[in-house]
Structure 1
C-alpha cells in the first residue's frame, strides 16, 4: 500500500477515532491491511491516471477505497469467524464492532458533502452487502444463484475501486463509465472463482465444504456426488455430522482434486477474463498507466484475496 495512502488513512483515524485505545486499534487494523497483497488503492490510482486524470484528491480517494474494503473485511470476518489471526478477531468483539461504527461514522462525515459520490458508494455497498447476505445464509442453490451472489459481493467491490478513480475525471463519457463498470464486475467475478477453486482444496477450516457452501466448484461436485463421493453427499444432506465428515477429509480432498471441478472453474474464469479484456480494449487510455491497470486488474482477477 502506498505510503501516501497510509498517511491519509491515519488522518481519518485521528479525526474520527477520538478514544486513544480505539485509535490505536484501528491503526493496527490499517497496518495489517497494508501488509496484504491488496490491489484496491492501486486500482483506483491506475483507473484515474490511465483516463488522463490528475486530481490532487487522488491519494485521498485511493485511501477511501482501502478504508471501505478494510471495513468490509472486518465485518466479513466477524460474521464468518474463519480468520482468527486478524487483529480484529483477537480483540473483544464489542470493541471490534465499535471500530466498525467509528469507520462508518467517518464515511458518513466525509462523504456526506458530495451527494453524487455518497449515493454511488452507498449503492455499491448495498449490492455487496446483499451478496454477502446471500453467501452468509447459504442462499445459493444453482449456478445462476452463484453468479448473482458473486457479481454483487465481489464484482461490486471492484466497481467501487474503479469508481473512486474515474469519479475524479472530468468529462468522462457514459460509454466509458459503463465499460469500466462491466469490466470491474467481470474481473471481480473471475477473482472470486479463482479463490473458490483454491478454497475447496484447503486443509484448514476455511475450506468451503466444511461450511456446506455451494460455490462454483462445489456445485460442479454435487451433480454426481451420490455415486462418486457418498460421504460428501451425506454431509451436505445432513445425514452425518461435521466430525464424521472430517474423518474422511483426505479421501474427500482426493476426490475433489480428481473430479475436474477446478479445471471447470478455470474455463469459466477465462470467459470472464476474456470479456474484461475485450472491454479494456474499447476504453481510450494513456500509457504507462494503461499497462499498469491491465497488470493490476488481471493479476487481481487471477487470485488476489477477496472479501
Structure 2
C-alpha cells in the first residue's frame, strides 16, 4: 500500500474508533474519501518525513500523519463553508470539521510518546492554527492593499499551516531547534498559496475567490496598473460579478498582457528557491533533502 493509502486508512480507522454518532461518522468517512480524490495528502507526508528525519526510534508515524491530515481537512471544510464552495448542508459540514479538528489533536495527545514532546507539539499546533485564522480573516475581509501586506497575510494563512505539519513531526521526534524548519516551511506555504491563487484565476466555476473579491498578488498587480482594465472596474464596483464572469477570458488576457501572471509565477519561484536554500543548510541525510525538494516542486 502506498504512503497515501496508509495515511487515509489510518484516518478512517481513527474516525471509526472515536466517532459514535452514525450520521456524523458516515459524513466524516465520506469527507475523507473526497479528500483522497483531490489531495496527495502532502501535509501528512511532510509530517511523516520530518518525523523520520529526526527520529532515533520507531514511533507510529502514520498515526502522526493521519492526525495532521485530519486537522488540515478540518480547515479545508471550514474554508468551503466560508467560501460557500460545493456545500449542501452547512451544519453537518461544520460539525464534521470540528470533529476532525478535535480528533487530530486527540490522536496526538494519545500517542505513546513522552508527554513533554506531545505538549510542545499540541501547543505549536494551537499557535499555528490561530495564526492561520488571522490570515484567513484578513483574506476574507479583503484587507490587503500592497504586495507586502499580501505576503504577510499569505504567510499567516498558509505558511503557518505548512510550518505546523513540518514542525509537529520534528517535535514529536524530539527535535529541539525548529527555527530553520519553520523558516523554509513558511516559504513553502507562501509559494503554494501563490500557485493556488493562480489556479483560482483559471477556475472561476470551482472556486469562489473572484466572486468574493479576494486580493491575490496578480490581482493587486492589476489594480496598480496604469492602464484601465476589467479588474479595476470590478473591484471599484463599476461592473458586477455577472458582467465580469461574461468577460473572464478578456480579464485573464489582460492579466497575461500586463505581466501579472508572470509576476506571480516569479514570486512563487523566489519563495521556492528561498526554501531550497534553507533546506540545504539542514544537517541531515541528503535523501531527506531530496525528498523535501521533490514535494515542493
Contact 1:143-1:219 at 8 Å conserved across structures: yes
Displacement of 1:150: 0.4
Q: Is the 8 A contact 1:193 1:265 kept in 2?
A: yes
Given the two structures, how large is their TM-score scaled by the length of structure 2? 0.88
Could you say what secondary structure the match of 1:123 adopts?
A: helix
Give the Cα–Cα distance (whole angstroms) in 2 for the partners of residues 2 and 263 of structure 1: 33
Query: Does 2:51 correspond to 1:48?
Result: yes
> Residue 305 of structure 1 aligns with which residue?
none
Following TM superposition, by how much is the alpha carbon of 1:52 offset from its aligned partner in structure 2, in angstroms?
Answer: 4.7
Map of 2:115 onto structure 1: none
Distance 1:237 1:115, change over 3 A: same
The answer (yes or no) to whether the contact 2:231–2:251 under 8 Å persists in 1 is: yes
Partner in structure 2 of residue 303 of structure 1: none
- Do the aligned residues in 1 keep the contact of 2:222 with 2:258 (CA within 8 Å)? yes
In structure 2, distance between residues paired with 1:173 and 1:205: 41
Q: CA deviation at 1:257?
A: 2.0
Greater RCO between the two (CA within 8 Å, min separation 6)? 1
Q: Give 1:178 deviation, angstroms.
A: 0.6
- What SS does structure 1 have at the residue aligned with 2:253? helix
Q: Which moved more, 1:180-189 or 1:251-260?
A: 251-260
Say if 1:25 and 1:203 are closer, same or farther in 2 by CA, change over 3 A: closer
Q: Are positions 1:94 and 2:91 aligned together?
A: yes
The Cα of 1:205 is off from its aligned counterpart by: 5.4
Give yes or no for contact 1:155–1:184 (8 Å, CA) kept in 2.
yes
Q: Equivalents in 2 of 1:204, 1:106: separation in Å?
A: 32
Give deviations 1:260-292, integer Å, cap 9, x for gaps.
111111222222122111111111112433322
Q: For the residues of structure 1 that align with 2:109 and 2:52, how far apart are their CA atoms? A: 25
TM-score (norm 1): 0.86
* CA shift in 2, pair 1:62/1:178, >3 Å: same
Cα distance in 1 for residues equivalent to 2:96 and 2:150: 31
* Deviation, structure 1 residue 53: 4.3
In structure 1, what is the Cα distance between the partners aligned to 2:237 and 2:99?
A: 40
The question of 1:159 aligning with 2:156 is answered no
- Partner residue of 2:100? 103
1:256 aligns with 2:222: no
Matches within 5 A, 1:145-224: 145-170=149-174, 172-174=175-177, 177-204=178-205, 206=207, 208-224=209-225
Q: How does 1:23-38 map to 2 (within 5 A)?
A: 23-35=25-37, 36-38=39-41
- Structure 2: segments with no counterpart, 5+ residues: 111-117
What is the CA deviation profile of residues 211-239 of structure 1, one whole-angstrom value per residue up to 9, with x for unaligned ones?
A: 322110011111126x331x432221112
Give the Cα–Cα distance (whole angstroms) in 2 for the partners of residues 268 and 258 of structure 1: 17
Could you tell me whether the CA contact under 8 Å between 1:221 and 1:259 is conserved in 2?
yes
- Aligned length, in residue pairs: 287
Rounded to whole Å, the distance in 1 between the matches of 2:90 and 2:204 is 27
Superposition RMSD in Å: 2.1
Q: 1:33 to 1:66 in 2, by over 3 A?
A: same
Structure 1 residues 225-264: aligned runs within 5 Å: 227-229=227-229, 231-264=230-263
For residues 292 and 35 of structure 2, what CA distance do their matches in structure 1 show? 21
